[in-house]
A and B are shown apart, each in its own frame.
Chain A
Amino acid sequence: MSYINGNGNANGAKPPNPQPEVLSANRLRKEYGSRMALKDLSFSLRAGRVMGFLGPNGAGKTTSIRILTTMLEPTSGYFLVDGISSKQPEQIRQKIGVLPEGMGLPKRVTGIEYLTYFGQLYGRSASTAKATSRELLKDVGMQNRGDSEMGSYSHGMRQRLGIARALVNDPKVIFLDEPTLGLDPRGQKELLSLIQRIARERNTGIVLCSHLLSEIEGICDDVIIMSAGQVVAKGTVAEVIGNTQLNVDQRNTIRVRVPPTSIVQARQVLESSPHVKQVMHVDETGGWVMVQLTDKASADPATEANARNSILAALIQVGIPIQGFESAGGRLQDVFLQLTAEAIQ
């Protein structure tokens, strides 16, 4: 089911009582002289949903975010935030929260003081801003460090505080630019679940720019993939994966992970299987074997499922433990790599 509107590949039915649209862009375009940085960006985002904004470096993500956050004027097109037109940037700024990539924080100010300062900049009284700041620090799991100077914060804490700052004006849409950059795996996981929780509990639309495709796949409801300044795919994560016509190398291909000590034996078993066309790649260190099925074995979904089961059974029968098994091309990463490569070509 698609919650993304516009001219993309959304083809599903809308849910009953859909959430209101909090952000919609219409044919946004940005040109720098003769260079087209952004071409006809159109989409909409509903409240309570997280949208992944993906693309290789130079794809136009930052330009898009800067336009949507009123930091840059589009050459043409417009957007609405909670019904407010992009022609009213000051009103839009009241409705959005932003965590810029690599955001700096003053060192000699405490977390509470910093959030209170921004609360006041949004027109709140000092006492209200301070009370809100304490609540926000609690929301992001930093209630015990609010009175410490920010110079003593770890990178993860700074990112959490950045998210709290983005929430200080109770925004309808939050833009997060690479929020997990530089965090350890645990920090990444915690921050992403915090982002998801914020979207659900506050009913806020979140636009999340990230290069962590597996994480995006896990927490985002919708996704937009950009390349060379234009949208190459958009829809729900399942739609984008499902609708992408994968190339020959990725079609009919599975990946099996076995212990590295069993990899030679596994290769022999796989090569002798009648369903296997070829063993394409072997990663002896990681234990991954990539296998392409024969055309006959992948003639239709039912036959393909049987072929995969037979391959697994053959491996198990000879006593090889299966540590991982997945379809190549069935992940957002495969789709991303293919679509962005096609766009560059």
Chain B
Amino acid sequence: MNGASTTSTTPVWRLVLKQELTEMWLGGRALNLLIVFCLLLSITAYLLGTNSELSLTPPREMEVITLQAIMAFGLFIGLVLGADCITGERERVTLEPLLLSSASRQQIVLGKFLAALSPWPVAFLLSVPYLIVLAQGDAVMGPSLVWGAVFGTLLAIGFTCVGMLVSIWSNSSRISLFISLLIFLVSLLPGQLPGEVKTSFVGRIMQVVDPLESTNQFLQQGLIDGAQWSVVLIYLVACIVATIVILAVLFLYAAPRLGLDGGARIARPIWNRMEAVK
């Protein structure tokens, strides 16, 4: 290999991203998840629309509930794709050739991360017609689209990172998906707390710390209750901080240690130790 013309200027992450997008979209995985997303969204919209005809739920509230559902379903797609992207490759023995190349681990992870994130913008675009119809001309539509895009993207980034972290530290897709699902369910818990616990100090802390619940609180208080900016800003900051922290853990700590075995190069996560004992 001689001369500048034979040397590639394409960054590794773009090569990995292109390869991953081909597999994910042409292979049908992303499309299948989006079909499920549309079905769930349609069911939610239908149920809310039926309520609306009975004048049970005002359009403003319907809009926010739908937005919350869109974000929950959308981030779940990122979580699932992230949870499979490393363990799946380990199981198919396609990760080893990639790690054996001279490509940097961080760039490999970045390419895979962006690919796993790619269904989110499509999912959000698909949900725009639902939001327009359910708003029924209410002024909440504009802010809900903007905040939906902002929070949805933050959550999708955060949960895709979580899925990938679990995937990097797991030895099988089954374990990785199970742990990711557990994390998703735990993040839904603060929203299900009884009223008195929610208003207690611990309840408030949980609502701020949990990105999914802080998003819900922001939308609820900001768009429905019309709370002041200064009151709801903390939820946005909490969501941004959580996303930055998880991004840093993924790219600065886990990605450089990405290896053939989950958790072999780091303190082994408890679930891998349990698996080894079994």
Interface residues of A (CB under 8 A from B): 66, 69-72, 90, 93-94, 96, 98, 100-109, 117-118, 120-126, 128-129, 165, 169-170
Contact = CB atoms under 8 A, between A and B. Distances in A.
A189 B15 CA distance: 36
B8 A126 contact: yes
A322 to B, nearest CB: 46
Contact of A69 (B93, B94, B100): B100
Chain A to chain B: the 3 pairs with minimum beta-carbon distance, closest first: A104-B92, A128-B6, A121-B101
B8 A125 contact: yes
Main secondary structure on A side of the interface with B: loop
B8 A120 contact: yes
B7 A124 contact: yes
Contacts of B242: none
Nearest to A123: B8
A120 B10 contact: yes
27 contacts: A70-B100, A71-B96, A72-B260, A90-B102, A93-B102, A96-B100, A98-B97, A100-B96, A102-B93, A106-B19, A106-B23, A108-B22, A108-B27, A117-B19, A120-B10, A121-B103, A122-B102, A123-B7, A124-B1, A124-B6, A124-B7, A124-B8, A125-B5, A125-B7, A126-B10, A128-B6, A170-B1
Contacts, number: 81
B26 interface: yes
Contacts of A100: 93, 96-97
Contacts of A118: 97, 101
A120 B15 contact: yes
Between A72, A103, A104, A124, the greatest number of chain B beta carbons within 10 A of the residue's beta carbon is seen for: A104
A117 B22 CA distance: 12
B99 interface: yes
A192 to B, nearest CB: 21
B238 interface: no
Given A106-B23, A109-B19, 16 more contacts: A93-B102, A94-B102, A108-B22, A117-B15, A118-B101, A120-B8, A120-B10, A121-B101, A123-B7, A124-B1, A124-B8, A125-B8, A125-B9, A128-B1, A169-B101, A170-B1
Interface of B: 1, 5-10, 12, 15, 19, 22-23, 26-27, 92-94, 96-103, 259-260
Nearest to B23: A106
A165 B96 CA distance: 12
Given A93-B101, A93-B102, A106 B94 contact: yes
A124 B8 CA distance: 5
Contacts of A107: 27
Contacts of B22: 106, 108-109
Contact of B97 (A90, A103, A125): A103
Nearest to A101: B93
Contacts of A125: 5-9
Contact of A66 (B94, B98, B260): B260
Contacts of B259: 71
Contacts of B12: 121
A120 B94 CA distance: 17
Given A126-B8, A128-B6, A129-B8, A98 B100 contact: yes
Contact of A71 (B23, B94, B99): B99
